[in-house]
Amino acid sequence: MPRALDYTKESEMPSVPVSLGDMKWSKTGSWRYMRPNYEDKTPPCNQACPAGNDVVRFVMLVEEGKTKSGWLKIKEESPFPGVCGRVCFHPCETQCNRGQYDQPVSIHRLERFVADACAHSRSRNLDRWGDRSERVAIIGSGPAGLSCAYHLALLGYHPEVFEALPVPGGILRVGIPEYRLPEGVLNREISDLETLGVKIRTDTKVDKDFFDGGGQEYQAVFIATGAHESQRLGISGEDGPGVIPGLTFLREVRMIQKVRPGKRVAVVGGGNTALDAARSALRLKSQPVIIYRRSQDEMPAFAGEIEEAMEEGIEIEFLTQPVRVIRENGGVAGLECIRMNLGEVDETGRKRPVPIKGSNFTLDVDGILVAIGEAPDARLLPPDVELDWRSLTLQDVSRAESRGVFFGGDLVSPFRTVAHAIGSGKKGAISVDAFLRGDNPLEVLEMTRIGETGGVSMRKYIDTGYRTLSRHVVNFDELNTAYFKPLSKTDRKCLSASSRIRDFREVNRGLIRREARYEAERCFKCGTCNECENCYVFCPDVSILRNMRKLKHEINYDQCKGCGICFTECPRTAISMEEEQR
Amino acid sequence: MKKVMTGNEAVAQGVKLSRVQVISAYPITPQTTIVEELSEMCADGRLNAKFLKVESEHSAMASIIASCTAGVRSFTATSSQGLVLMHEMLHWAAGARLPVVMVNVNRALGSPWNIGNEQSDSLSQRDTGWIQLYCENNQEVVDTIPQAYRIAETVKLPVMVVLDAFVLSHTAEPTEIPDQERIDEFLPPFKGDFTLTGRRHQSFNPITSPDYYMEFRYKIQKAMDQAKEVARSVDEDYEGLFRRGYGIMEKYNWDGADTVLVTSGAVTSTSRFVADELAKEGKRVGLLKMKMFRPFPTEAIREVLGGTRKVAVLDRGLSFGQSGFFAQEIRSTFCNEDEQPRIFGFVAGLGGRDVTPEDIRQMISYTLENDRPRHDIIWIGLKQ
Amino acid sequence: MIEIRFHGRGGQGAVVASKLLASALFAEGKSVQSFPSFGVERRGAPVMAFLRIDNHPIKLRTNVYNPDHIIVLDATLVEAVDVTSGLKPKGWIILNSDHSPEEFTGFASFRVATVDATKIAVENHLGSRTHPIVNTAILGAFSKVTGLVSIEAVAQSIREAVPAKTEENARAAVEAYDKTVLPSNDHPTEG
């Protein structure tokens, strides 16, 4: 038991004012009424990622130069870093706290950098969790279906994926043009997934009979057939040659190559499908004009897409609505339109467009691409399914037969993005596994949620230690920005507008290694301890202990007085202060 | 080997001979040529020491406090404004019991600006816990620096070696450079009792409660008392090796004198010249050169001056509102004695004003002619 | 004891000249004390340096008030400064000048010697034509005029202490020794 040195004579004391003992006998920890502890919290980017990526941790690995580890970190949560690094609308960057400081970290470009740098890496290196004999069928090989299959494979299953088309990938392959997502990137990530033992049966259409008949051998089914039913304009002359649904057009471009939609083609709609269709038409030597009934602010397409389309010189007629297809000799001879005004705010939160009487005019076009939205093919859905549009709907439709049927992707979600689909597939995989283990999938999904409103985390699902990770989402005001210096975002690099419209070459270029390290360094690592050692340096009582072997710090509660300096000086809120419970 | 060199060159030679390992200094007239020479010695390898460039004298002292705490023989030099800027750190070095050595080139303090010789800068630091040794000529400068390290490292207190601005610092005269091998014999490598090495967890100069603070102050005083004897014996050792000794004070022309002039620093030299002349004229006036000012050699002063009738004290500096530094201290030495000499306090040669043989004769005449001083301060050479 | 005063301009090397001369005298067994005027000196301003010479250790540490001889590195100073202030009667004034001693008529009670140290310095490439370094050459004249120190000791002192153009500086002193002009009615002081 250490004790205080006690001198009674001057001659016993050292000549120099120097400590000859230590202060361990003085348990100043008893003074503490607030207790600091290391507690990693949820960064806003992680919560914002619909796919449930652990953004900060993969970025930290990139910063340390461990690109391969970064790739594996992403692969724990998503099979598609190369895809998402290109096509994701990156809500992570919108929520990035750095955006309130200077500019957000280029997370999606970092993801692409990692994926491209690890193009030859394989997921076999990931930990597999057990070996399951239950058979699981997945209907649809789009991002949701493949994500579900991938995660099930990691959980030890051997899922079988059914795809109606001759090629796997769904919307990734037939809905997104190559200049945004090169075929090689997609093939690479799908084939990686197949090496995990996922079987993809292409050219295999599944209908209701599947459940009634042969499907009985599957103990669980995940259905993610997407939303392909283009909505109709509902105007005269719509039916007939020359008027093509946008998704159909995009699929033909990918599968048939030689497609010519017309010399001058009207693209109706303001979403991503409309933009993709118009830009693809431009690359096929057509002259597209986009017709949208509201203004640019209301366009649902990603801002970057609109910007790139405008760079390429694509004309957009805002506040315009088609009223009639003019036909001559069966073909399209023009599109009669009417100008619109924005009126009251409607139930979608946007201003409702109102036609201006007498403003009709005719657009001289010989083709029309309709991209005003797609609906799911509801035929696969049992009639008693209740759709909850906010999240993956879980419905055990066949409890009597002990069979779990789950739905995901665009089929049931209003958020028609690749990232949401990937997240949905992961939820499906977790639900299937929970169901097969006799757990309540809804409860499990809630336990594995990232932050308060985010997606789900595989890491949390398989590693129960991760579930204790605080759900508190770190906001900008909680950071100690005195420790950060302004560093502007790496400039976007892309092909010039004039050269890229000649063919379907990828428009955007990736980051080089130096830029990636720089972007990773810009990351605040909100709520995530990166061993910056500010706590260690600032602790006035030397009560932060360093554990070199484990590469982390611990608090010596015998001495810690709870002054809170570590908490204040932590740049990223990876330390919490709680009232002492005695 | 004897060479014609300035006082500042003699300092550099003394530092080199002492095998100093860290030098940290900020330039100031008239000290500058010391650090110029030392930085060249460090650069060309004549001296195996780390030379630290710092942004102020305060930092210079702070950094040698650090290097000395780490167990490394350390040196700095300064003057005047630089010394008083160090003031806070001077207390610290002594309290931390660090045997650093500093040379101070005596220079007047502003305002108004003046770069001339005067002792107020060092004497006003008398309460900081530093040992102070004053030199009379360049030979004494080069000899005193190795002695200073030995004294400092024995009693664990910092030592200030003082020389006069220009009169010594920039004056070249023949000076013997001691042999390095014999200096090495005289001054062994520095080894501190407690050093910050990183191998042992130890807190240096921690906050100390009233329970113990007083004892540490007592220990400084005890070390100061010890330093008087240590300085004497160190000088004896030195004299044994080099045939040159200085003592902590020196009597000159003492034979039968009952009137004594007390001096320090380079003006002692001119005073010897005057004492020699007076002796030829048949006037018996003794001279007492004080080399050590801190610790104040109270017992020795009582012993030496106790039998005299009149003591004239030459001060090149004063404590405003009291009197000359040396005069004050010598007066207080006798306050409880039955037999006391009359103490005449003279202030002369401020701000580089020349102290001529005539000035010194005037002090002696006043002392001889008056039974007791009419004022606490008798100003010499003042335009009145 | 003999006291010498040097007059020069800041940057001309009067202080170094005093120190070089001190070393030469010391080498010949003299006690010496060399020091500058203690002021805030600037390039071009009139400056002084001093030298005491004795056969015994020098105790006196005051300014020099009554020099025995003076050395003037720049003849233009004669107009600007009272160079003879305190100079003892019959003291030597050693001037850097291309004129003969007789032309300096204002120094009746003193002895004047001249040497064209500027020309010697330029010929030996010491300094530039506009700023010749004359401090070593003038020492040769001092040796010749006063006889207090041998020219060999002066040259040796220069060789030991001057880091650059060492031989040129030593040669300049020797040349000045030979070219010093004494007044026609006077002779060098004998050692």
Please tell me whether residues A111 and A162 are part of one structural domain. no
Report the CATH number that the domain containing residue A142 is assigned in CATH: 3.50.50.60
Would you say residue C138 lies in a domain?
yes
Closest listed residue to residue B378, CA positions, set B282, B286, B261, B274: B261
Q: How far is CA A303 from CA A82, A90, A270, A500, A554, in A?
A: 21, 11, 11, 19, 45
Q: Is A551 on the interface with B (CB under 8 A)?
A: no
Would you say residue A388 lies in a domain?
yes
What distance in Å separates the CA atoms of residue A409 and residue A227, rounded to the nearest whole number? 9
Please tell me whether residues A241 and A218 are part of one structural domain. no
The structural domains of chain B, ordered by start, are 2-242 (3.40.50.970), 249-379 (3.40.50.920)
What distance in Å separates the CA atoms of residue A267 and residue A286, rounded to the nearest whole number? 11
- The pLDDT tens digits of the residues spanning A286-296 come to 999 999 999 99
Please tell me whether residues A298 and A341 are part of one structural domain. yes
Please tell me whether residues A223 and A154 are part of one structural domain. yes
All residues of chain C having their beta carbon less than 8 Å from the beta carbon of residue B355 are 62
Nearest CA in chain B to A14: B216
Q: How many CA atoms lie within 13 A of A41 on its CB side?
A: 21
Report the CATH number that the domain containing residue C154 is assigned in CATH: 3.40.920.10
Q: What is the mean pLDDT of chain C?
A: 92
Averaged pLDDT, B176-192: 96
What subunits make at least 3 CB pairs under 8 angstroms with C? B
Rg (CA), chain A: 28
Please tell me whether residues A111 and A140 are part of one structural domain. no
What distance in Å separates the CA atoms of residue A274 and residue A279, rounded to the nearest whole number? 9
Report the CATH number that the domain containing residue A557 is assigned in CATH: 3.30.70.20
The two tokens of residue A463 are 């590693």
Closest listed residue to residue A272, CA positions, set A244, A245, A298, A303: A303
What distance in Å separates the CA atoms of residue A481 and residue B291, rounded to the nearest whole number? 59
Look up the domain containing C174 and give its range: 2-179
Bridge partners of A36, per DSSP, are A577
Would you say residue A251 lies in a domain?
no
Q: Is B197 on the interface with A (CB under 8 A)?
A: no
What is the sign, positive or negative, of the torsion defined by CA atoms of A243, A245, A246, A248? negative
Please tell me whether residues A292 and A344 are part of one structural domain. yes
3-class DSSP assignment, residue B114: coil
pLDDT for residue A392 is more than 50: no
- The pLDDT tens digits of the residues spanning A115-144 come to 999 999 888 767 777 789 999 999 999 999
Amino acid identity, residue A485?
A: K
In the numeric block, the tokens 């004390």 are attached to C33
Question: Per mean pLDDT, which range of A81-90, A456-465, B152-161, B239-248 is the poorest?
Answer: A456-465
Look at residues A314, A346, A370 and tell me which one is the last residue of a structural domain.
A370
pLDDT range class, residue B229, cuts 50, 70, 90: very high
The two tokens of residue A239 are 């039916």
Would you say residue A279 lies in a domain?
yes
Would you say residue C187 lies in a domain?
no
58-117 of C, contacting B, C-beta below 8 A: 58-63
First to last CA, chain B: 49
- Count interface pairs B-C at CB distance under 8 A: 63
pLDDT of residue A402: 47
Would you say residue A13 lies in a domain?
no
Q: Is A540 on the interface with B (CB under 8 A)?
A: no
- The pLDDT tens digits of the residues spanning C131-180 come to 889 999 999 999 999 999 999 999 999 999 999 999 999 999 999 999 99
Would you say residue A464 lies in a domain?
no
pLDDT of residue A512: 95
Q: Environment class of residue A130 by beta-carbon count within 10 Å: exposed (0-12), middle (13-18) or buried (19+)?
A: exposed
What distance in Å separates the CA atoms of residue A107 and residue A118, rounded to the nearest whole number? 17
Q: Is B135 on the interface with C (CB under 8 A)?
A: no
ipTM: 0.91
- The pLDDT tens digits of the residues spanning B283-308 come to 989 999 999 999 999 999 999 999 99
Would you say residue C184 lies in a domain?
no
Q: Number of folded domains in chain C?
A: 1
A58: which residues sit within 8 A by CB, 6+ positions away?
A70, A71, A73, A74, A110, A111, A114
Amino acid identity, residue B233?
A: S
What distance in Å separates the CA atoms of residue A253 and residue A177, rounded to the nearest whole number? 8
Higher pLDDT, residue A385 or A114: A114
Angle between helices A513-522 and A55-63 (to 10 degrees): 130
- The pLDDT tens digits of the residues spanning B305-350 come to 999 999 999 999 999 999 999 999 999 999 999 999 999 999 999 9
pLDDT of residue A397: 36
pLDDT range class, residue A215, cuts 50, 70, 90: low
What distance in Å separates the CA atoms of residue B168 and residue B139, rounded to the nearest whole number? 10
Would you say residue A502 lies in a domain?
yes
In the numeric block, the tokens 């982390």 are attached to A552
Look up the domain containing A408 and give its range: 131-228+377-447
All residues of chain C having their beta carbon less than 8 Å from the beta carbon of residue B267 are 61
Please tell me whether residues A268 and A328 are part of one structural domain. yes
pLDDT of residue A410: 86
Averaged pLDDT, C116-135: 92
> What ranges in A129-221 are assigned the alpha helix state H?
143-154, 171-174, 183-194, 209-212
Please tell me whether residues A495 and A535 are part of one structural domain. no
Q: Is B209 on the interface with A (CB under 8 A)?
A: no
φ, ψ dihedrals at B46, nearest 5°: -65, -30
Look at residues A351, A370, A389 and tell me which one is the last residue of a structural domain.
A370
Please tell me whether residues A356 and A398 are part of one structural domain. no
Please tell me whether residues A100 and A145 are part of one structural domain. no
Please tell me whether residues A510 and A542 are part of one structural domain. no
Please tell me whether residues A62 and A183 are part of one structural domain. no
Look at residues A408, A432, A447 and tell me which one is the last residue of a structural domain.
A447
pLDDT of residue C191: 41
Q: Cβ of B193 and A16 within 8 Å?
A: yes
Whether omega for the bond prior to residue B111 falls within 30 degrees of 0, making it cis, is yes
Q: Number of folded domains in chain A?
A: 4
φ, ψ dihedrals at B355, nearest 5°: -105, 105
- The pLDDT tens digits of the residues spanning B158-177 come to 999 999 999 999 999 999 99
Q: Is B365 on the interface with A (CB under 8 A)?
A: no
